[in-house]
């Protein structure tokens, strides 16, 4: 449990009722809450030391949330809401005395948000938003990954057999990627991958290709998740769909519509400033040969110009998690898949260049007035 910061709490789950008692100082013990199982209104008495826990759902099945209702006079009961199913818990940081300084209490109270990252295919999350997701999870927010498709068209079917099997395999990889990023929930809307080819293949049995569905229908399904999660921020793609994959363009439209339906306060379109990636690729090409299917010039028309970026998020501290997420996808397909080969290629980029390219993530907030200062925090102002 090395990733749990802060101190106390002891669970008394064997007692009748969810009683949680603090007598004096109880340090270095944590409540372990089974995944999704809510424990509500745990009274704690005689708090003479701060409730101090930074919480994070770092691993599936180990959601840890401590939610004090409000500051209490010494000796009175504090209600603790331990509820992994509620997206907006109050987390309390470390501080000395609950009563000495109510302002410091107020400052220490964080309001974790729920971040929903909406992606077209398994592996897109690893490339574009993994650092932001890992950072949000590490900071105690709830992170949800929603995939539109299972990515079954991502690899040559001849090599990997039945696309149905491939879809299941790629969803498994997405789950492993999500686990290392600290994602609390992975949902797949179940559309079929529309593929990259010039012609759109017929729908596979029992599925509709993502671009064949209507924006309204897909948006309603995403909106249901946004409402259920009470999402504060939705991550989608820029209007170009990054490099232009038809499913990625669809994510842009579906995401915008879903956020409107669910009244999600902020939509951030994942992107890369064109000049940054072109410069980094030019640099990498001096020391590294990209595989033949990787077309560096494709980035000259993709994504957005630097001036459109509204959020630049430092994820340097989360590069290990981001690389692990990429590896979760790159592992199975070093041979044939275009997307996965690109991932594997990225992982072989020399580390300083990798950090330059992948140590930051960029977003466009369409609601921000042009010329606003670039924000460093996706939750700023929420």
Site residues (CB under 5 A) for Zn ion? 120-121, 124
Among the residues of 90-237, which ranges form H helices?
102-108, 124-128, 130-138, 157-160, 163-181, 215-229
Report the nearest approach of Zn ion to the CB of residue 199 (Å).
18
Give 345's contacts (C-beta < 8 A, 6+ positions apart): 290, 291, 294
Residue 209 and residue 352: Cα distance in Å, rounded? 39
Report the nearest approach of Zn ion to the CB of residue 113 (Å).
25
In the complex with Zn ion, the residue whose CB is nearer, 114 or 271, is 271
In the complex with Zn ion, the residue whose CB is nearer, 237 or 379, is 237
In the complex with Zn ion, the residue whose CB is nearer, 182 or 241, is 241
Report the nearest approach of Zn ion to the CB of residue 140 (Å).
29
Report the nearest approach of Zn ion to the CB of residue 149 (Å).
8
225 is written with which tokens?
């998740």
In the complex with Zn ion, the residue whose CB is nearer, 127 or 268, is 127
Kindly report the number of other CB atoms within 10 A of residue 232's CB atom.
23
Report the nearest approach of Zn ion to the CB of residue 120 (Å).
4
Residue 52 and residue 58: Cα distance in Å, rounded? 18
Closest-approach residue to Zn ion (CB): 121
In the complex with Zn ion, the residue whose CB is nearer, 52 or 120, is 120
Report the nearest approach of Zn ion to the CB of residue 248 (Å).
6
In the complex with Zn ion, the residue whose CB is nearer, 114 or 194, is 194
Taking CA atoms, 124 is separated from 119, 223, 362, 379, in Å, by 6, 20, 14, 22
In the complex with Zn ion, the residue whose CB is nearer, 124 or 340, is 124
Taking CA atoms, 63 is separated from 38, 51, 84, in Å, by 10, 18, 6
Residue 120 and residue 101: Cα distance in Å, rounded? 48
The angle formed by the CA atoms of residues 69, 75 and 78, to the nearest 5 degrees, is: 15
Report the nearest approach of Zn ion to the CB of residue 121 (Å).
4
In the complex with Zn ion, the residue whose CB is nearer, 212 or 227, is 212
User: 114-119 and 233-237 as β-strands: parallel, antiparallel, unpaired?
Assistant: parallel
Residue 272 and residue 97: Cα distance in Å, rounded? 45
Report the nearest approach of Zn ion to the CB of residue 316 (Å).
24
Residue 360 and residue 309: Cα distance in Å, rounded? 12
């Amino acid at each position: 449990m090395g990733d749990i910061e802060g101190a106390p709490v002891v669970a008394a789950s064997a007692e009748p009722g969810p009683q949680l008692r603090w007598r004096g100082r109880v340090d270095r013990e944590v409540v372990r809450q089974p995944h999704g199982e809510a424990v509500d209104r745990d009274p704690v008495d005689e708090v003479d030391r701060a409730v101090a826990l930074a919480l994070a759902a770092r691993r599936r099945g180990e959601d840890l949330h401590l939610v004090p209702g409000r500051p209490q006079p010494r000796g009175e009961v504090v209600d603790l809401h331990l509820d992994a199913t509620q997206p907006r818990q109050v987390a309390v940081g470390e501080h000395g005395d609950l009563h000495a300084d109510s302002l410091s209490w107020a400052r220490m109270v964080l309001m974790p948000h729920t971040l929903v990252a909406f992606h077209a295919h398994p592996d897109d999350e690893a490339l574009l938003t993994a650092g932001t997701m890992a950072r949000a999870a590490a900071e105690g927010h709830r992170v949800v990954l929603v995939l539109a498709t299972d990515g079954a068209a991502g690899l040559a079917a001849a090599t990997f057999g039945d696309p149905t099997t491939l879809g299941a395999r790629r969803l498994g990889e997405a789950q492993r990627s999500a686990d290392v990023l600290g994602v609390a929930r992975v949902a797949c809307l179940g559309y079929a991958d529309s593929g990259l080819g010039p012609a759109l293949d017929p729908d596979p049995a029992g599925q509709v290709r993502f671009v064949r569905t209507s924006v309204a229908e897909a948006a309603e399904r995403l909106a249901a998740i946004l409402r259920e999660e009470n999402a504060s921020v939705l991550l989608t793609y820029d209007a170009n769909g990054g490099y232009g994959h038809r499913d990625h363009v669809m994510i842009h439209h579906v995401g915008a519509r879903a956020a409107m339906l669910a009244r999600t306060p902020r939509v951030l379109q994942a992107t890369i400033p064109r000049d940054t990636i072109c410069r980094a690729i030019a640099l990498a090409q001096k020391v590294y040969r990209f595989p033949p299917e990787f077309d560096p010039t494709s980035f000259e028309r993709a994504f957005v110009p630097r001036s459109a970026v509204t959020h630049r998020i430092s994820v340097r501290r989360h590069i290990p998690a981001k690389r692990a997420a990429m590896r979760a996808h790159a592992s199975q397909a070093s041979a044939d898949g275009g997307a996965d080969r690109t991932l594997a290629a990225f992982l072989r980029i020399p580390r300083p260049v990798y950090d330059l390219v992948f140590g930051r993530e960029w977003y466009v907030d369409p609601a921000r007035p042009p010329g606003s200062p670039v924000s460093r925090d996706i939750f700023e102002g929420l």
